[in-house]
Amino acid sequence: MARAQSPRRRLIATLAAWGVALTIFFPVLWMVLTSFKTEASAVAMPPELLSADWTLENYAEVWQRSDYPRFFWNSVVISIGSTLLGLAIAIPAAWSMAFVPGKRTKDLLMWMLSTKMMPAVAVLIPLYLVFQRIGLFDTKLGLILALMLMNLPIIIWMLYTYFKEIPAEILEAARMDGASLWSEIVYVLTPMALPGIASTMLLNIILAWNEAFWTITLTTTKAAPLSAFIASFSAPQGLFYAKLSAASAMAILPILILGWFSQKQLVRGLTFGAVK
Amino acid sequence: MSTQSTRLAARLMVAPSVFVLFIWMIVPLAMTLYFSFRFYRLLTPERSGWVGFNHYLWFLNSPDFWLAIFNTLALVGGVLVITVILGVLIALLIDQPVKGQGMLRILVISPFFVMPPVAASIWENLFMHPQNGLFSAITRGFGMQPILFLEDYPLWSVIGIVSWEWLPFATLIFLTALQSLSSEQLEAAEMDGASPFNRFRYIILPHLTRAITVVILIQTIFLLGIFGEIFTTTQGGPGSASTTLPYMIFKQAIVAKDIGRAAAGGIIAVILANIVAYFLMRGIGRHLDN
Amino acid sequence: MGKIQLTQVRKSFGEVDVIPGIDLSIEDGEFVVFVGPSGCGKSTLLRLIAGLEDTTSGTIAIDGKDATTLPPAKRGLAMVFQSYALYPHMSVRKNIAFPLKMAGMSESEQAARVERAAKVLNLTSYLDRRPGQLSGGQRQRVAIGRAIVREPSAFLFDEPLSNLDAALRVGMRQEITELHQSLKTTMIYVTHDQVEAMTMADKIVVLNAGRVEQVGSPLDLYHHPQNLFVAGFIGSPKMNFLAGAEAAKHNAATIGIRPEHLDIGAGGMWQGTVGLTEHLGSDTFLKVTLDSGEVVTVRANGDVALHHGDRVALSPQASKIHRFDASGKALA
């Protein structure tokens, strides 16, 4: 890749890339800036930046008026719980599809993906009724199950494409070495596929954290995660930009920071077999 | 290439996934199908009796229905076109030897971590709001009337917001695919006298086919059910200008409290999803082979 | 003990018979090489013995016990794969100990056996490295180490040297042969390279299209090939075949003569013109176009001063002529 690039071209490319990246990022940045302004400053016209009144008041007020730690904890439990449960079911399934493929494997995968195409709104009422009936409504377990099932096809697909890169000979070697199926998966496949599993895990935590339909409709207070927290904030508060921004920032910052720190791992496996 | 016992084990290991997904699909589907033929309105005390295909006919005869179908497809299609084209361009740009690639990636990926209600509310309030939004400040700066995004261009506004949410995903997949392209191939093409455009057309684009397929497939799956962004911003309006099929169903279920009718809409949505899935698989599924 | 007996072993994938039915017995302590062109079924046969594939019909007995339906782990065999199939996330020590760990052996016994194997294979100073940090030859030795610690009743090798460069291959070939001489355990070795087969085997099984063409010792196959296929496959450069009038003189449909059994000199039976020449110093290889139109290869000892365009006379050594009938079978 050591190609001679004229410094001029390189400078233009760098400037253009940064311009585009900052534009894409700007809404998030603007929201965070707004969250530190006073309400008056937040809606001032023309928009204030250097002259703005900076304050931490919004965060203090949001923190005081709502039970942020509970919402936060629910989000953590639900996203991590659904991810771990999903992996436990998906790893064996992906093993089967990647290493013992049959004529129907591709169809099976496509069918799994198609279950995700059913619009959530379409099945809202039945699921609401079922969840009420079997006592899963407004429970963390209920949301863990729902989000796990919602994302299972994506998890299986990601793991499947990742497992396919692993040479089957290595698993055969393990079999020759006397490994049972369980040992083969635990001692050989899983450690070898760790980067892919990590990436799948991250993506799934992000998807589960940001899910805002089932988490809002299948909870009231007890199990409500941050998506419900933000929904409750935008509704009755009216247009208090600064406080809304502060609440928004509190809802997304944990996952944003996790994402930033782990983006290398995330991106590595985020190919769905698109890269050969 | 395996023995019978491993094939048996393979079936057993894929069974739990198939089983739970089947239950997850069939139970709500069966209930929805049942409700769609029932009289089931939460606002009337009497909630029983069969209504045949009346709910379906109501949808098919509703002037909003075809608009909703169109809006659904326009939303999916619009977001796909925008994210794929911009995604490829941005990926090409970032793939250049530019300074600070790691930081660039972090900036570009960020919208992907923002939950939909927050994304929608940022755009609605901080940017598109006719009085206090940043966009109106800009247009006013030029001495023009602010653009009423959510009133005058509701569907375009929603497409814009959703595209912003999905652009990082597309860009990153394209970027990873680009980075796997051997530079020798590009150098060979250069030796063969291919212009930059031809190199893109004949080397880079074919290399990206698989990645584009994957992006289209995954995004379609998520986009067909888009709901939260519309709920937060336009509420399907003005009128029905930005009402998609999922939103129309939502209005029947939650606003009109007509569960039967909403269920019929749900079944129609499932059928629509299947039609889209069918064409999707036929059109691009072959790129996923191997 | 490692006596392996195949009886009417058949393997088909769907409609295709990869192996139509093979009978073969491998004695305890023997070094057997399966050789044949790619796609001849040699690897499939090895995988059937390993238990990585199901036999469609027939039986495989190991030490007199029917093992046809046993899973690979229960057969007491060890295998070295073409890609080595080392576990990339484990150190060399853990790689070698893996089969022992799977067998539930105590830590101390595991350590002792790994040390012993490492000493035999000169791996002692690499035990804490990962496979990724080793050279091709070292990885190969780790794969062998992983196989020998279990003290299996037989070793299976699936083209183990094909990923090594030429010089290393010769070295590893000798190491494996020496290993066999010291362990005296049955070894089954699959290769497409007839030189490997000739140099290593006690017994060679030549396979073609899923069928056994001939079984015998290397020199047996060299001197007495039973058919055209074996005659052409064993020996390098290939045996020359002549049909037509020349063969008719010997009452055969085809005759074969190896390049090293053609003498150059005045008064030869066959006249021809030298084409391509390869002067190696120790040997000289000549491609000669006979006046009858056929092209034969000649191998002469030492440096022979013949060049492109020169006229030569060749005479085959009468006792070294192989005769074949119209179906390709050798005539006595």
Residue ranges and CATH numbers for the domains of chain A are: 7-59 (no CATH), 68-269 (1.10.3720.10)
Q: Is the pLDDT of residue B288 over 50?
A: yes
CB A218 within 8 A of CB A138: yes
| Sign for the pseudo-dihedral over CA of A241, A243, A245, A251 | negative
Tell me the range of A152-156, B198-202, B259-263, C245-249 where mean pLDDT is highest: A152-156
Query: Do C102 and A172 lie within an 8 Å CB cutoff?
Result: no
A97 interaction partners in chain B (CB closer than 8 Å): 14
> Measured between beta carbons, which residues in chain B are less than 8 angstroms from residue C52?
2-3
DSSP code at position A48: P
- Work out the minimum CA distance from C72 to partner chain B, whole angstroms: 10
User: Which of B131, B210, B269 shows the shortest C-beta gap to A276?
Assistant: B210
Question: What are the residues whose beta carbons fall under 8 Å from the beta carbon of B190, sequence distance 6 or more?
Answer: B199
Residue B263 predicted with pLDDT over 80: yes
Subunits with 3+ C-beta pairs closer than 8 A to A: B, C
CA distance linking residue A150 with residue A154, whole number of Å = 8
Selected residue with higher pLDDT from B290 and A119? A119
Q: In this model, does residue B187 exceed pLDDT 90?
A: no
ipTM: 0.88
Residue C79 contacts A, CB cutoff 8 Å: yes
pLDDT in tens, C199-211: 999 999 999 988 9
**A87: which strand partners?**
none
The minimum CA-CA distance between C54 and chain B, rounded to whole Å, is 5
Closest CA to B168 of A162, A32, A20, A246: A20
Shortest distance, CA B81 to any CA of chain A (angstroms): 17
SS3 C21: strand
Instruction: Transcribe C223-257 into DSSP letters.
Output: H--SBHHHHHHSSSSPPEEEETHHHHTTTSSEEEE
Domains in chain B, CATH or no CATH each: 56-288 (1.10.3720.10)
Report pLDDT for B289: 61
Q: Do A177 and C52 touch (CB under 8 A)?
A: no
| A14 reaches C (C-beta below 8 A) | no
Q: Which of the residues C52, C70, C75 would you substitute to probe the A interface, choosing the one with the greatest number of A C-beta atoms within 10 Å?
A: C52
Query: In chain C, what are the domain boundaries?
Result: 4-230, 241-324
Q: What is the mean pLDDT of residues C82-106?
A: 92
Contacts of A103 in chain C (CB under 8 A): none
Give A-chain residues touching B118 at CB under 8 angstroms: 31, 230, 248, 251-252
Q: What is the pLDDT of residue A2?
A: 43
Correct CATH for C241-324 of 3.40.50.2000, 2.30.30.30, 1.20.1600.10, 2.40.50.140: 2.40.50.140
pLDDT at B290 over 60: no
User: Does the structural domain C4-230 have CATH classification 3.40.50.300?
Assistant: yes
- Chain A residue closest to C150 (CA)? A177
CA distance B13 to chain A (A): 5
Q: Distance (Å, rounded) from C-alpha C322 to C-alpha C257?
A: 6
Nearest alpha carbon to residue B288 among B211, B228, B236: B211
User: pLDDT tens digit string along C264-294?
Assistant: 887 778 899 999 999 998 999 999 999 888 8
Q: How many alpha carbons fall within 13 Å on the CB side of residue B173?
A: 28
DSSP symbol at B258: B
* Contacts of the segment C51-55: beta carbons below 8 A, 24+ positions apart: C51/B3, C51/C75, C51/C77, C52/A172, C52/A175, C52/A176, C52/B2, C52/B3, C53/B1, C53/B2, C53/B3, C53/C11, C54/B3, C54/B4, C55/C9, C55/C10, C55/C11
Q: What is the mean pLDDT of chain C?
A: 91
Helix (H) or strand (E) holding C203: strand C203-208
pLDDT digits (tens, 9 = 90+) for C171-208: 889 999 999 999 999 999 999 999 999 999 999 999 99
B2 touches C at CB < 8 Å = yes
Any residues with CB less than 8 A from the CB of A261 and at least 6 apart, and which?
Answer: none
Whether B167 shows a pLDDT value over 50: the answer reads yes
Pick the residue from chain C with its C-alpha nearest to A192. C89
Low-confidence ranges of chain A (pLDDT < 70): 1-5, 234-239, 274-276
Q: Which of A211-215, B251-255, C261-265 has the lowest mean pLDDT?
A: B251-255
| Cβ contact, residue pair A248, B183, below 8 Å | no
Pairwise CA distance, residues C233 & B114, whole Å: 67
- d(CA B166, CA B243) in angstroms, rounded, equals 20
B22 falls in which pLDDT band (50, 70, 90)?
very high
Q: Which residues on B lie below 8 Å from A16 (Cβ)?
A: 93
For the segment C132-141, the average pLDDT, to the nearest whole number, is: 90
Instruction: Provide the pLDDT for residue A238.
Output: 56
CB-based contact (8 Å) between B9 and chain C? no
> Is the Cβ–Cβ distance between C38 and C191 less than 8 Å?
no
- The residue length of chain B stands at 290
Reduce the DSSP state of residue C317 to 3 states and report it.
coil
How many residues does the structure list for chain C?
332
A46 Cβ contact partners less than 8 Å away, ≥ 6 residues apart: B137, B140, B141
Please name which of C8, C36, C4, C41 lies closest in space to residue C156, comparing C-alpha atoms: C4
* 3-state secondary structure (DSSP) of residue A62: helix
Interchain CB distance below 8 Å, C73 and A180: yes
The alpha-carbon gap from A178 to the nearest alpha carbon of chain C, in Å, equals: 4
What pLDDT was estimated at residue B53? 85
Q: What is the pLDDT of residue B279?
A: 84
**Please, what is the Cα angle at C80 between C75 and C86, to 5 degrees?**
110
**Best of C52, C56, C57, C75 to mutate (most B CBs within 10 Å, chain B):** C52
- Whether residue A169 and residue C79 make contact (CB cut-off 8 A), yes or no, is no
For residue C13, give how far its alpha carbon lies from the nearest alpha carbon of chain A (Å).
13
Q: List the single residue in A100, A241, A272 with the smallest CB-CB distance to B126.
A: A241
- In chain A, the residue whose alpha carbon lies closest to the alpha carbon of C100 is A177
* Closest approach of C86 to chain A, Cα-based (Å): 7
- State whether residue B103 sits within 8 Å of chain C by CB: no
Contact residues, A window 109-168, toward C, CB-based 8 Å cutoff: 167
Alpha-carbon gap: B3 to the closest alpha carbon of chain C (Å): 5
Length of chain A: 276
